[in-house]
Amino acid sequence: MTGAKVGRGAPFGAAMLAIAVALPFAGVSPYVIHVGVMTFVYVILVQSLNLVLGYCGLLSLATPAFFGIGAYASALLSLRLGWDALATFAVAVAAGAASGLAIAGPSLRVSRHSFVIVTLSATLLLQLVANNWVDLTRGALGLSGIPAPSFAGLRVTEKADWYWFSLGLAIAAIGVAQAIVGSRTGRAMVASRDNEQLAVAQGIDVLATRLFAFSVSGALAGLAGAAYAHYLTFIDPGVFGFSLTESLLIMVILGGSGTLWGPVAGAIVFTVIPEVLRLAPELRSLLYGFVLLAVVLFLPRGFAAWFGRPAAGERR
């Protein structure tokens, strides 16, 4: 079932990759390149959330926690210790994975309603820490002057460099997600989502499966956080904000949770549309609401309906 899902979306993935590769050669403005970089960051983040929400069926609000931890870890190591980006990005990924396990451990032992509250509380707690640990994070002033990443002497400085770098990270994140959902572990995640009792009866360790999903989710979000911090050269406690959760939920759910390419389509559409609507700032919120309403009414299964959805996803 999962393999069919990947196969049906392959033409869409190939088309999006071709467009992404061709875009810088089309003479577009630096602003368009910037939107492309941010889109790729969101592609990584939706893969992170989709592993937990789409394939495990758990409404997690902890993705900004993993994202913020990765951003602060990489930024602080670069600013305070002058570490190379290979090391800081690796620490960001490891910190994201560790925080995923730390938050998932207690969260998965409570009811589903309490699970949502626990994951949200963890994110808000980390935001409070970032706000109040002024000696480390500078609080609401944030961390500025975060250096461009340097990988064994190769620096990523120009917007074009960032475009190709973030595209590579997004492709890697999609590849990781595809490898997981197409594996036995991915099938165990879907089985525990669809019928937890039956999955246990079949010998699936549901807790271990979900802990693994959370750890990978945290690692991907930590990677996105590191890229985000070094690209913008500034972060503040707002990286833990609920607005990020809101955006990611829109992208994943309206893109088509539980599919590989649906959330990618959601990330592209709902990153680009707000930028396009800047042309009409006085109507921006209204028009954005109409877009969301149109997607809900005419694509109830999300953008994944464009390239099909397997029966396993429809049985949810």
User: What's the pLDDT tens digit per position in 197-243?
Assistant: 898 998 899 999 999 999 999 999 999 999 999 999 999 999 998 88
Per 3-state DSSP, what percentage of the chain is helix, strand, and coil (rounded to 5)?
Answer: 80, 5, 20
| Mean pLDDT of the region 48-66 | 93
pTM above 0.85, yes or no: yes
| Mean pLDDT of the region 12-16 | 83
What is the reported pLDDT for 144? 92
Residue 237: give the domain boundaries. Answer: 2-314
Neighbours of 245 (CB within 10 A): 21
| Mean pLDDT of the region 132-145 | 91
237 in Cβ contact with 127 (< 8 Å)? yes
From 66-80, 147-161, 250-264, the region with the lowest mean pLDDT: 147-161
What is the reported pLDDT for 315? 42
| Mean pLDDT of the region 77-93 | 92
DSSP lists the bridge partners of residue 234 as 144
Distance CA 250, CA 255 (A): 8
Q: Per-residue pLDDT for 305 more than 80?
A: no
Domain count within the chain: 1
Distance CA 13, CA 182 (A): 16
Q: What angle do CA 48, 53, 58 make, to 5 degrees?
A: 125
Distance CA 62, CA 246 (A): 12
